[in-house]
Amino acid sequence: MTTNLYLARHGETQWNKVQRFQGQLDSELTETGKQQSKALAMHLADQEINLIVSSSLGRAVSSAKLCQQQLNAPLCISDKLIERDLGHWQGQYVDDIKSDKSYHEILHQFTALPPEDGESAVNCASRIYQALETLAKNNINKNLLVIFHGEALRCFLAKLGHSATGNAYQLFKNGCLFPLSYQHDNQRFQLLG
């Protein structure tokens, strides 16, 4: 028994465009972001998506609704898939934060160090892992499109052992897609392709 999860980053937002950290704050999709979301749905048109699951943050929900129009699948919204809480860095520009002595450890590595008043990469990864595992167990042998966030995706992949140096802006384009399977017999995630 397998559940296929197509993990996607939401389309480009106004703040993505100017390299401003959103974290659990929000900004609107740009026209490019809307097109990226539609392209994501078109890319998955042959996969028989049974359910679209979105983070509850507006940018992810907007992307999910655009995908839903083309994929004609029900939409479920989950607070557990929201972006990593970047604490005091939320709303700040990337260039203004880079000089912080902890910047690389917090946003390029997989550690337990959180930004001030924020969430560590390790804690974010555990939260996302549990949310995706619950989705998989509740949707055996189904295909799910999961729309969430770049930094949460970076943390989750690092937990699976796929760590890379670089922040989420550098690693994951808006609208990118990571096919993943959950094998129910051994209760493990596996990246596909």
Residues annotated within the binding site for substrate are 9-16, 59
Cβ–Cβ contacts within 10 Å for residue 93, how many?
A: 13
Residue 10 annotated to the active site:
yes
The angle at the Cα of 153, spanning 148 to 157, to the nearest 5 degrees, equals 150
Q: Please classify residue 142 by burial: count the beta carbons closer than 10 Å to its beta carbon, then call 0-12 exposed, 13-18 middle and 19+ buried.
A: middle
- Catalytic residue, candidates 28, 31, 83, 104: 83
Cα–Cα nearest to 64, from 44, 46, 84: 44
> What's the N-to-C CA distance of the chain in angstroms?
19
Q: State the binding site.
A: 9-16, 59
Q: Which residues are catalytic?
A: 10, 83
